[in-house]
Amino acid sequence: MPTMIPAYVDGILTPVEKLAVHQRGLKHLAISVFIIADGKILMQRRALSKYHTPGLWANTCCTHPHWDEDMKTAATRRLIDELGITDIKLTQRGTVEYRADVPPNLIEHEVADIFVGFCAVDHSVTPNPDEAMEIRWMSPSEIKSEIAENPDAFTPWLKIYLADHAGQIFNATDFDHS
C-alpha cells in the first residue's frame, strides 16, 4: 500500500500518496531532525536506493508524518527507522516552509517542523542501509565549506535550512562543546 502523507489540495489538508505529492509539487507536512554532539551535527548520506536525492548528504533525518501522526512521534520514529537512534529528547525549533526543485523532475514544497536533539558523540547510531549509506559528524563551518566546494553533494533542503533558517533552527549555545 502506498504511503499517504498530509498534503494541501485546494487549501485543505488531505492524505495524498507520497510520490504523487512530490511529482505534483503539492505543499505538504514534513519533519527535519538535527542531532548535535560536541559541537557537530550528525549528517547522513542518503542511500542510493532512495527515489529522490540518492547519495546526497542531508541533516540527521527527514520524514513526512503519517496521516494523523503527531510530528514529534514521527521524528522519533524516523530516528529509529533510519539510524537506530533511541533515547534522545527532541525539542521543536519552529516550522520552516520552503520549495525546491529535486532533479530530475520532483518538487519538495514542505512545511517542515524542525527538531533538535543532543547526545554524546559515542551515542549508539546504527544506520539502516536502505535509508543511509554513510554518516559523519560535521561542524556547521565544515558543512558550509563543503557546500561551497561541492553544492551538488548536498540535498536542496539542507542548503536552504543553513542559508535561510539557521538562526531559527540553532541556538547560540547549541555548538558549545567545552
Q: Report, as residue numbers or ranges, the catalytic residues.
A: 62, 110
Instruction: For residues 4 and 17, give the distance between their C-alpha atoms in angstroms, rounded to a whole number.
Output: 4
For the CA atoms of 58, 61, 66, 69, the dihedral, rounded to the nearest 10 degrees, stands at -140
Q: CB of 158 within 8 A of CB of 57?
A: yes
Give the burial class of 101: count Cβ atoms within 10 A of its Cβ; 0-12 exposed, 13-18 middle, 19 or more buried: exposed
Single-letter code of the amino acid located at 78: R
Minimal CA–CA distance to 50: which of 18, 14, 95?
18
Torsion angles phi and psi, residue 52, rounded to 5? -140, 155
CA distances from 38 to 8, 41, 178 (A): 39, 9, 8
List residues bridging with 116 in a β-sheet.
34, 91
